[in-house]
Structure 1
Amino acid sequence: MPLLPSSDPALPPVEITLRRSARTRRFSLRVSRLDGRVTLSLPQRARESDALAFAREQEGWIRRALRTVPEGRDIRFGSVFPVEGQGLVLRPGPGRTIRLADDSLFVPGEEAQLPQRLGAWLKHRARDRLAAASDLYSGRLGRPYRSLTLRDTRSRWGSCTHDGRLMYSWRLILAPPAVLDYVAAHEVAHLAEMNHSDAFWAEVARLCPGYQAPRRWLKTEGQVLHAYRF
């Protein structure tokens, strides 16, 4: 992976991911707000040296964009962690079952096991909530879905295939419930309208009135959900 050297000796070099594409006509840069990955797209036959020269010219823009990426957040006992939009203090707990009480989440086991145990509990909770929301909206729509899967996706919060397969990011369980509900309504609406036309958005509004607020939340706050390291 090429490194973009810094014009300032106090700053580290930046890793650049090169992506060649037959459909790309000119050099373009993208900095992911989720993990800070810098991707440089270039035409299939372009010279790598020319692409890196372009990146060097854009160093200032790249570093400004990297400063907006949320820092990664480790999961430790004593830290505050969001579950369904509520900040809970992670605490060591007895027994073998994770327990939620008041403003705390009690997780059994050593701290080294905390991310794995918490992640498994969150995925189970996310499946239950997303299945319930999908069933609700699918019933309102009058169209069944075929299957539901969870992934840790980076580029989208959910998807719906032409044959009715729903996919969601399990990290939606960290967001306020209205946000999870909106994403479920959005994907279920695709069972009727496989596009983002006016008819599609009218269907979303019918299934989930007031969806605009949780949609805005995802755009402004959603990247923080990816900052937690499991």
Structure 2
Amino acid sequence: MSQTKRKRTTTLAGEEVTYEVARSDDATRPRIDAGIDGITVVLPTTVEDDPETILNRNVEWVLEKKTKFDRYRDEIPDRTFEAGEQFPFFGEDHELVVEPRQKSEVVDGMIRLRKSAVEQSSVERALRNFYRREARSYFTDRLDHFGDKTGLEYDGIEIRNQRTRWGSCSTSGTISLNWRLLLAPPEVIDYVVVHELAHLQEPNHTDAFWRLVGEQIPEYEEHAAWLEENSTQLVFSEDDL
């Protein structure tokens, strides 16, 4: 999604709120995104709606999300990116090890990074590259699995690091998934995968959309709630904020 952002400040119900305005080629209608990184009013490139008017129409929701994510920021893991530190992988903590080996992989419950990869960059970058590689492989497998079950065909996959979204589905059929989902439990990943696949058939969050999701993931509400409540645990570094 192509976006140009501008930061602004307004007052909602007596409380100062800083937010960003983003212009998006993919957006079909104005919306408000709320996350750990803050509040964003997303506008289609062809729409001239006033962002403050949109915020004021949703003032209670905006302030509720702001309070929640202000609290979440205090819960973000303080990562040092050193050997011996614990990092999530499929929802379970794994000790980080740096050692001479052919490739970085998970062995015996540990994330074992290739020493030469760390020496060529850093622990943080080598670990990020490991996650992205594993994410592409695993997410593709799950998309193919649920695509076969539902008969829904996607055009391609992009591995991204969206700050406010775990996934998206373009009008051309390309599904983008956030590599940091690999830190979450497998059932949560499956929920996001099916959610985005369902958009191939139902672009909006209609009753038909949720029925389609529920046919494959009956506990989807539980997994969506997990993502909302545990999003801080999926923060990899300050670059994600």
**TM-score normalised by the chain length of structure 1:** 0.72
User: Are residue 105 (structure 1) and residue 107 (structure 2) matched?
Assistant: no
Letter of the 2:127 counterpart: L
2:82 alignment counterpart: 76
In 2, Cα distance between the equivalents of 1:20 and 1:195?
A: 30
Compared CA separation, residues 90 and 213, structure 1 to 2 (3 A) = same
Larger radius of gyration between Structure 1 and Structure 2: 1
In 1, Cα distance between the equivalents of 2:192 and 2:67?
A: 32
Question: 1:119-169 CA distances to partner (integer Å, 9 max, x unpaired)?
Answer: 111111101111111111222221211111011101110011222111110
Unaligned runs of 5+ residues in structure 1 are 1-16, 22-26, 46-57
Match of 2:207 among 191, 198, 204: 198
The 5-angstrom pairing of residues 135-154 of structure 1 reads 135-154=144-163
In 1, Cα distance between the equivalents of 2:200 and 2:40?
A: 33
Letter of the 2:213 counterpart: V
Compared CA separation, residues 219 and 67, structure 1 to 2 (3 A) = closer
Deviation at 1:39, TM superposition (A): 7.5
User: Are residue 187 (structure 1) and residue 187 (structure 2) matched?
Assistant: no
2:228 alignment counterpart: 219
Do the aligned residues in 2 keep the contact of 1:98 with 1:106 (CA within 8 Å)? yes
**TM-score normalised by the chain length of structure 2:** 0.69
Unaligned runs of 5+ residues in structure 2 are 1-5, 20-33, 42-49, 53-62
Compared CA separation, residues 158 and 68, structure 1 to 2 (3 A) = closer
CA RMSD of aligned residues (A): 3.3
Letter of the 2:98 counterpart: P
1:120 alignment counterpart: 129
The 5-angstrom pairing of residues 160-179 of structure 1 reads 160-179=169-188
The 5-angstrom pairing of residues 21-60 of structure 1 reads 29-30=17-18, 33-35=35-37
In 1, Cα distance between the equivalents of 2:69 and 2:91?
A: 27
